[in-house]
Structure 1
Amino acid sequence: MTKRQSLVFCALLSTSIATLPRAVAVAEGGTGAMSQYLVEAKYADQAWSAMAQKPQNRLELLRPVVERLGGKIESFWFSFGEYDAFVVIDLPDNVSAQALQIAGAAGNGFKVLKTTPLLTIAEAMEAMKKAGELRSSAAYGKARQELAPLEAPSK
């Protein structure tokens, strides 16, 4: 097994398919600088009407928009339930993600458009560690004490 194959195998063991490209980039010594976002969309009635009259591959319509922001679509699913579509997108930064959100919301095609930043397992573990360190700090203790609701006086 080559070194690259070993790194890719380790990345596969430690991450989900949605985060694999970034995990492989990090494993190979890169920064994995792209951030991933989950976009949940509920189409407006007029959008469904248009798709029923003229079926469209929404993935192919969205791809150049995301690429214009320097991003890449990892996966796209239609669904039924609360949301009509789920898309996992790699984008360079939060500003690009917010630009996509604003542009999408400004149109008439969606009833709901929700974008959620995604964390790799490693990022979540780092956040948990930082949270533990923060909770044991004097600054956190003081803030918690100051922000705690006043106790009712004893009778």
Structure 2
Amino acid sequence: MPSECPPPSYSPRTSNLSFVLKNPHDVEFVERPIPQLSSPKDVIVAVNYTGICGSDVHYWDHGSIGHFVVQELMVLGHESSGTVVEVGSAVTGLQPGDKVAIEPGYPCRWCAECLAGRYNLCPEMVFAATPPHHGTLTGFTLPPTYQSTSTHC
């Protein structure tokens, strides 16, 4: 028995195939543009793995969770890991080729809770695959700029 699993093979992707919820019980794979850097703090990640969460299933089944209602096409998925492919000029701590887990919640990083180390209590927190934000069941993702220079990616 091998002592470790071989790493997954990696070849540069040229497409951004995404799993998109159109309506309840109506999903399809859609080719979307590959994200581009637009800020010095941006990080582009090639998504290698994404889990399917109960919330993804709930959106597929009902089109909403509480007051979060899918009103436009939305990429599902938020439990992901990947490989950094490009970083903006102000990004520190990450470089192309780094393997990362992508935090599904994106805090502001500047409120009192975030500065105290309790980013999970951030009142401005937004979540991947929660309207109006796209998820990470896609070839490439660009997490919100305000969290990209942190260890959340």
TM-score higher than 0.5: no
Instruction: Give me the TM-score of the superposition, normalised by structure 2.
Output: 0.25
The structure that has the greater radius of gyration is 1
Per the normalisation by structure 1, the TM-score is 0.25
Higher normalized helix content (fraction of residues) = 1
More strand by share: 2
